[in-house]
Structure 1
């Protein structure tokens, strides 16, 4: 333990030193706070806050961190005196899951599992309580990125009570992670039959986004934000709307939505990191670095550290980038102790910034366990980086094949496929996919966008040759890619 603490102190010291040396691109060791990050006097949380968080947790909606803290404190005190209250245990477990998700503190997940299993053990024959605990277990498995377990818990809940709508959202996440897009469609259709409301609209938006239906997804999120019952919920849907704007290559609109989300809920760290992404695209690099630092200080999510590292690397701060990459690896090890599977993120890191062969090994295992589109893209890219382009193309094609679920319009996926095709001398296809990547989002990565532009320039324009015709006919034949 002393060695771990000493290593954390050394890494923190390296981060501070790098911040001090970054010059004009970094504001120094002291991170300047955004206006909305300045100390403010918050109202005292009243007992009603626990009830507000309870409503959100029961409905599977985002809850504010102060309200969650109140709810957890109330339920912990209650179950100490009433250890056989199965409903209270189920609520406590679900609240732990939400707190872990909001803070990136994986220590909440073992607590959640203990509470939810206790609820199942003492629930007896009460179906409503059984299903609440099973739903909580499915949500917990999704938070840990264990999609087979999430599917098993969710389907067990359906057997107990097939008309309880709250079971369906966790199942949507599980089926998506497993690449079962027929089940995703079936599950969403059933959910929309059973219920409406902001949480359901937001889930529908996620499915529509994966299908490439961006306008439909944006409309659903707009309705969800308008109908939100709490600031935390509204901020969460605004953050997702910002993600959609970012993915379609509109960093200005994305920044506006992210800023609004943080204004409404200062604990909305996903939106804070989103600001970093958008600001970097707009050329406001110093502000982008600060946004990422603020997000990481409050929510040490390894994805944010990876993005920050790549931003550092893109501006020539290689040592700062390596510090962040090391932080990602350490964070992945830490959360693994709480049952969180970050193999996908670690594989992505190693493919681009470490050992590509190790990345292939990690991602092959992940593909066997849960073969979703994200894993297909990451494995294809790792195989390319390891020099196995023929096999890489198979996975890159799967990630971008709308017939089999790869309908999401991802600039990164298109870029990966284009680079692989270029290596295989499939120049026409490579040109199309590189152009698609830059058309979908010209800012998709501070590291890869310059590479995409260079690769496209090297390919040049399609050859200007006469179109062949069928003998005896003036009708043109299909053009060679």
Structure 2
């Protein structure tokens, strides 16, 4: 059944996170929030640390600890875990690099997290003279970390090394799928995702299939698959994740009631899952519950001050006519990007979005164009198109805006950007079509852009 459902390319479900500091041994764990107490992931980290205090040469536990740091960072949004995750994973490879291999801990350590997202060759980790690799768990963890740091070319190489050593690693195919998707190679991503489904048709593989269906505009099938995935979820975090995805699907379709129902169902499984709070804040803002929305965003940005979330909060404040508050959020977004860079990561797409929010169109074009050279993803195409449009370069923007819509995703934001570019070029008929499509898909898609779309549609003669 799953083979029939994912007959199209698979796009990553963006499940990967961030990483902190590594010394001679594991550092004491301190829970960041009250709901972390009793969290299975936190407990697994504490157990791994205790094990490594007693048996510091246990390379399998070092690999598990490093991967747990990556997952913990995804949940908390704390970039302080970058170096900690990398250190644990490299210690695993140092202890067990694989048969007849060189010591990976001393081989080009800058390769992981160096910010070389351009795809330039930064070497391999733990490669043997005969092309066989050992310790695929550590390589998979490093690949996930590379994806989180947006070094997708490196993530692809690490995933392929892991697969060379263990062709039956479903996790390696997951990392490979995510990397290939972000690099703009959907046919290869489809093949990798299919192999992952063949090996282990669980929630990680199903989530990629469902997300891909959504990206290709097959929303009804995506909803059916997410509903099937909900039946496979057991852990509280997995249940919360699927409810969040169902909520997002409803949100992007403009169904506020269904989105709220899904977002509110998630906390029963995991009250600390932050993306559910994000969904509720967006629904509150769209439904006119301004006080609740502002409180939700304030709590979110305090708990997880990621650049994109801070920019979104700033745009909501700006739409309400607030004065200095939006600028304060944008300053925090810049600080978050700086912190990300200090941890070895980079996110030029988020940096371009921040530049657009600040009205710095030239910087937005430069950042988005650099990202487009590294990877041909639809979100990058859309951001670059919008930056070019804002800079007055409408003809250059149009083919990129069309490329952003090429997969068929039902994105109100992409449709709005395309319509505004068409309007600027004088194609009023095309502009009316795409602006109307944006508002039909989700009339609440942005507190700033949705009203602008309605005004532009009226001016275009709708």
Q: TM-score, normalised by structure 1?
A: 0.79
Q: Residues 270-322 of structure 1, C-alpha deviation per residue, up to 9 Å, x if partnerless?
A: 11111111111111111111111222222222222111111111111132111
Task: Say which SS state the counterpart of residue 300 (structure 1) adopts.
Answer: coil
Q: Specify the alignment match of 2:455 in structure 1.
A: 454
Q: Partners in 2 of 1:42 and 1:336 — Cα distance?
A: 28
| CA distance in structure 1 between the aligned counterparts of 2:353 and 2:78, rounded to whole angstroms | 22
* Counterpart-to-counterpart distance in 2, 1:212 and 1:444: 17
Residue of 233, 236, 246 corresponding to 2:241: 236
Separation in 1, partners of 2:221, 2:323? 41
> Aligned-pair distance for 1:43?
11
For 1:15-164, what aligned pairs fall within 5 Å after superposition?
45=38, 66-125=39-98, 130-164=135-169
Q: How does 1:234-273 map to 2 (within 5 A)?
A: 234-273=239-278
- For residue 347 of structure 1, report the CA deviation from its aligned partner: 0.3
Q: Which residue of 2 aligns with 1:363?
A: 368
Task: Name the structure, 1 or 2, with higher relative contact order (CA <8 Å, separation 6+).
Answer: 2
Match of 1:341 in 2: 346
1:382 counterpart = 2:355: no
Contact 1:281–1:446, Cα closer than 8 Å, also in 2: yes
Of the three residues 396, 399, 405, the one matched with 2:404 is: 399
Unaligned runs of 5+ in 1: 1-39, 46-65, 462-481
Deviations 1:301-354 (A, max 9, x none): 222211111111111113211111111111111111112222101101212333
Query: How far apart are residue 225 of structure 1 and its match?
Result: 1.9
Q: Which residue of 1 aligns with 2:418?
A: 417
Q: Is 2:194 aligned against 1:189?
A: yes
Any idea what the Cα deviations from partners look like across 1:35-54, whole Å, max 9, x if unmatched?
xxxxx998974xxxxxxxxx
Distance in 2 between residues matched to 1:193 and 1:151, nearest whole Å? 20
Deviation at 1:455, TM superposition (A): 0.6
Q: Structure 2: how far apart are the matches of 1:165 and 1:110?
A: 25
CA deviation profile, 1:128-151 (whole Å, cap 9, x unmatched): 961111111111112222211211
For residues 400 and 41 of structure 1, what CA distance do their matches in structure 2 show?
Answer: 42
| Aligned residue pairs, count | 398
Superposition RMSD in Å: 1.9
SS at 1:283's partner residue?
A: coil
- Name the SS for the 1:318 alignment partner: coil
The answer for unaligned runs of 5 or more in structure 2 is: 1-32, 100-131
Report what 2:218 is aligned to.
Answer: 213
Q: What is the aligned partner in structure 2 of residue 24 from structure 1?
A: none
Which residue does 2:174 correspond to in 1?
A: 169
- The CA deviation string for residues 142-188 of structure 1, in whole angstroms up to 9 with x for no partner, is 22222112111111112222222121222221112111111122122
Matched residues in 2 for 1:443 and 1:383: separation? 25
Tell me the CA shift for residue 83 of structure 1. Answer: 2.5
Q: Does 1:439 align with 2:440?
A: yes
TM-score between the two structures when normalised by the length of structure 2: 0.83
Distance 1:138 1:271 in 2: 27
Kept in 2, the 8 Å contact 1:144–1:341? The answer is: yes
Q: State the alpha-carbon separation in 2 of the partners of residues 82 and 270 from structure 1.
A: 37
In structure 2, the CA distance between the partners of 1:264 and 1:248, relative to structure 1 (3 Å rule), is same
Report the Cα offset of residue 426 of structure 1.
1.4
Q: Which has the larger radius of gyration?
A: 1
**1:37-75 deviations in whole A, cap 9, x for unaligned?**
xxx998974xxxxxxxxxxxxxxxxxxxx2222211221
